[in-house]
Structure 1
């Protein structure tokens, strides 16, 4: 998707949640969409740069993702207490952690687990591929990797924009444009991967909501081209190799603060099912990439081989 098209899509949406508005407008030099965001982030594209995480902690990009991996190591443990089963979909189990949900302002903290017939490396490569994310998630309308840090491609700084609606081909998000309280959402995230000595891979991410600017709306318009700033608080795949690395035991941990007028009681009952579908969708995409002979190139591009 071109940056110009990105700006046009944002312009079709009305903001509905005061206090969380993030406005997109033409830059002073006429640059649209991502331009002002990227200019704000570029000066910090250094290995020693310090970023403020969603919880106010300041650290380097690498240290933030190491923190996320350490958190995930604890909560992905099947013996970790506090999870409550929600259900099973297509062989994928999904659970919620009520205490972490409470600490997250009612936004569900989920653990989703199952097995897939693709390698851990391919799961990570798919998760880090912007083209795959946009193609397979109908709500994901713009993804850009702005910088890769100097740790062999294991840490990245990116920006994304998601349309209102339900993902993974469940519906066309365009149907939701005018329905309050749904709105576009955006975020700047650190993402990347780590590998343990036993071969376990981790694909991890967390948000930097204060590192990207808020813009004023354009004058003379009654519609505000805007997004609500989302926060990816916790995101981690634990990927354990099975059958010599041909298959994978997947454990996904996730909690996103949606902000706006989306309440946990509204979305928490369905998120687990959506994330279970997410894992199965990734498996299908991975198998297709293998049939097309593209999987190895994606793994190499992600720095995993």
Structure 2
């Protein structure tokens, strides 16, 4: 369909988008780009990309259209300018949004003759195309397979299934852990900082704990899938007492209480539901059924 089967059309030239375009160019793929602020294309154009003058032009340039935008509303705002140019295109949307917005986007594109492949890039811009980079994908398998040789250049493709929302869910779930952990680290620094301890002094202890966290996850997937929470070690009552102490220490320190109170609430509800003697993984029962 496109004049050059290995060509790529790319929309969205923030730091992530620019990193991906440079990766495609470095691997010999002609890339046509468009961005609402055209000046952001200057760097990649200097590296060999072609700047399209309009949305219609960038869509018509190639079958494969990759989006790196803030959210799915941005997709509507941009692609809506050239709906007649969407027919026959494969739109790989690497933007973050909710599962329902993702399903709605798939239907919107299908009505205009385009296919949606959903993606979630799991590395920052500086790691795009590097050894540890990986990207979740979901959508029609045949469509994904046809473009996998190009998509793998930005990171190892991890295809999760035909349902469009799966890549979005895996992406959000990973960031759920990531963002919550970063907030917990900030809270912990504030806690010791209330006694005058420098963040730099505490940092090595936090790093050591981060490195050990995988140990605490061993076997938990099986427990959660089976609904079996043997509580010989780390039961909810014991862990809940610790959560309560963290709230008290935070109150004494005069720091923010939102995160520790949220954690304590999980344990309180699990204990109230009869899971006090069960493993801490029993919190899953009150999280999935609030």
TM class, shorter-length: under 0.3
* Greater RCO (Cα-Cα under 8 Å, separation 6 or more): 1
Higher helix content, 1 or 2: 2
Higher strand content, 1 or 2: 1
What's the TM-score once normalised by structure 1's chain length?
Answer: 0.24
Larger radius of gyration: 2
